[in-house]
């Protein structure tokens, strides 16, 4: 059975979970509420680049369902994850939801196990998306934008309860613990998909630093999205072989905002660590939550398991080069030839009409987005698949 659960139904399920108090996590929602840094720049990314912004809603579902399946199915998650992989790559990523996913509905057992981890990820994702908003706001000068991004980073770090440290963490935390690498060995295709997500999340900053005009930035964003889609062809052969490092994939962004870049690498490292903990049969289920908390302590501690900023910048060289991480976004962006004139829809005004937001942009490389159900690599005529309101349940 599959498909078609409305966003209203999803929210109703979430409300029932909260009212019933089925988990200690749900009971913490009110006091753990986290807020966007205020400003009129908010939501500019969704308004001006909806085809990119909505992908992140699908990414949230992908992370959530992965953790839920790994935790609840234990050593028998292979068939479930294969089903989820097909759903993600042939349906949900192609028609991503308009609205944010109610993750507690997707991963109720995992949320109960690791509420702190969920909240830390949410807080870091807010920073990621507000930085996209800052870049997408055409009213800001480069200096104003850079100042805003540093203010956003300060705001993020002020929440000491849920902020990752801005000191680069040793790769040994991800690769050299007794449970390390278990997920990527057991599920290389799904691991590659997660790393492709992470490549796009950091690589997408480079178009805004390389593009000199709005037309150039639009074209560069589409080229970066095209690279992401190409990674999903013949999996896992074209997927990143190592965790994408922001310093390598997005060097201009990393040079301009090193604190934020380090935070994102620490976030992505923790994603991998949790996947390993949930996969490892050397950690009993009753101890997995405790182990996750211990690792979160390490990722928040600026005084241990750290490397220097110079070592962080050079890490890609020690791991086989940026090509092993999916390639650098800067070189990709520079190769794009921008349209001679902006398309009519490429104005700097906020789009309020949802139908208008769904229309394809003139000149955009939308043939890089295959239709729902299409085989990967079979590119379709330029079109924007209609986004869905919510994530349908499927079995």
Q: What DSSP assignment string belongs to 221-239?
A: HHHHHHHHHHHTSTTTTTS
**Bond from prior residue into 363 cis (ω within 30 degrees of 0):** no
C-alpha pair distances (Å), 357 with each of 139, 228, 351:
20, 22, 6
Beta carbons of 151 and 127 less than 8 angstroms apart: no
**56: β partners:** none
Which tokens go with 173? 């935390």
Note the Cα 212 to chain centre separation in Å.
26
Kind plus residue range of the DSSP H or E element containing 174 = helix 172-175
Q: Quickly count: other Cβ atoms within 10 Å of residue 271's Cβ.
A: 23
Q: Is 146 exposed, middle or buried (0-12, 13-18, 19+ CB in 10 A)?
A: middle
- Which residues, other chains included, contact 105 with Cβ-Cβ below 8 Å and sequence gap of 6+? 10, 13, 14, 17
Task: Return d(Cα 167, Cα 305) in angstroms, integer.
Answer: 10
**How many whole angstroms separate alpha carbon 57 and alpha carbon 111?**
18
What pLDDT sits at residue 295? 98
Give the sign of the dihedral formed by CA 74, CA 290, CA 300, CA 318. negative
DSSP 76: G
The Cβ of residue 309 has, within 10 Å, a number of other Cβ atoms equal to 14
Q: What does the CA dihedral 42, 121, 208, 147 come to, rounded to 10 degrees? A: 60
DSSP-derived secondary structure for 104-124: HHH-HHHHHH-HHHHHHHHHH
CA distance 271 to 164: 12
CA-wise closest residue to 261 among 150, 354, 178, 342: 150
Contact 98, 388 (CB under 8 A): yes
Q: Where are the domains of the chain?
A: 7-29+36-338+350-368
Tens digit of each residue's pLDDT, the chain (395 residues): 443 343 334 434 443 444 444 444 444 444 466 789 999 999 999 999 999 999 999 999 999 999 999 999 987 899 999 999 999 999 999 999 998 899 999 999 999 999 999 999 999 999 999 999 999 999 999 999 999 999 999 999 999 999 999 999 999 999 999 999 999 999 999 999 999 999 999 999 999 999 889 999 999 999 999 999 999 999 999 999 999 999 999 999 999 999 999 999 999 999 999 999 999 999 999 999 999 999 999 999 999 999 999 999 999 888 889 999 999 987 777 776 444 444 433 333 333 333 333 333 333 333 344 444 444 333 333 344 556 666 665 55
User: Within 10 A of 50 (CB to CB), how many other CB atoms are there?
Assistant: 21
- Cα separation, 201 vs 377, in Å, equals 22
pTM above 0.75, yes or no: yes
**For the range 176-184, what are the long-range contacts, defined as Cβ-Cβ under 8 Å and sequence gap of 24 or more?**
177/273, 177/276, 178/282, 179/276, 179/277, 179/279, 179/280, 179/282, 179/283, 179/291, 180/273, 180/276, 181/276, 182/276, 182/279, 182/280, 183/70, 183/272, 183/275, 183/276, 183/278, 183/279, 184/272, 184/275
């Amino acid at each position: 059975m599959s498909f078609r659960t409305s966003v209203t139904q999803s929210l109703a399920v979430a409300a029932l979970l909260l009212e019933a108090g089925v988990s200690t996590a749900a009971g913490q929602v009110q006091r753990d509420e986290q807020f966007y840094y205020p400003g009129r720049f908010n939501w500019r990314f969704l308004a001006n680049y909806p085809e990119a912004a909505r992908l992140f809603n699908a990414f949230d579902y992908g992370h959530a369902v992965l953790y839920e399946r790994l935790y609840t199915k234990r050593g028998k998650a292979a068939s479930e994850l294969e089903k989820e992989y097909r759903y993600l790559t042939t349906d949900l990523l192609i028609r991503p939801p308009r609205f944010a996913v109610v993750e507690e509905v997707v991963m109720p057992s995992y949320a109960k196990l690791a509420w702190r981890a969920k909240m830390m990820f949410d807080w870091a994702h807010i920073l990621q998306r507000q930085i996209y908003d800052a870049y997408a706001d055409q009213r800001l000068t480069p200096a104003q934008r850079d100042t805003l991004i540093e203010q956003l980073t300060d705001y993020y770090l002020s929440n000491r309860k849920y902020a990752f440290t801005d000191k680069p963490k040793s790769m040994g935390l991800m690769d050299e613990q007794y449970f390390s690498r278990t997920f990527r060995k057991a599920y290389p295709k799904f691991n590659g998909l997660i790393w492709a997500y992470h490549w796009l999340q950091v690589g997408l900053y480079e178009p805004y630093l390389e593009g000199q005009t709005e037309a150039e930035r639009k074209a560069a964003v589409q080229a970066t999205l095209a690279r992401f889609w190409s990674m999903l062809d013949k999996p896992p052969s074209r997927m990143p072989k190592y965790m994408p490092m922001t310093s390598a994939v997005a060097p201009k962004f990393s040079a301009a905002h090193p604190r934020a870049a380090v935070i994102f690498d620490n976030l992505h490292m923790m994603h991998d660590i949790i996947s390993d903990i949930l996969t490892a049969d050397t950690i009993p289920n009753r101890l997995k939550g405790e182990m996750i908390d211990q690792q979160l302590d390490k990722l928040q501690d600026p005084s241990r398991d750290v490397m220097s900023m110079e070592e962080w910048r050079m890490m890609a060289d020690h791991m086989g080069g940026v090509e092993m991480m999916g390639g650098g976004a800067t070189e990709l962006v520079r190769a794009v030839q921008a349209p001679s004139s902006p398309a009519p829809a490429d104005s700097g005004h906020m789009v309020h009409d949802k139908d208008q937001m769904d229309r394809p942009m003139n000149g955009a490389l939308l043939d890089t987005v295959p239709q729902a159900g299409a085989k990967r690599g079979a590119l379709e005529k330029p079109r924007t698949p209609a986004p869905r309101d919510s994530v349908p349940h499927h079995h």
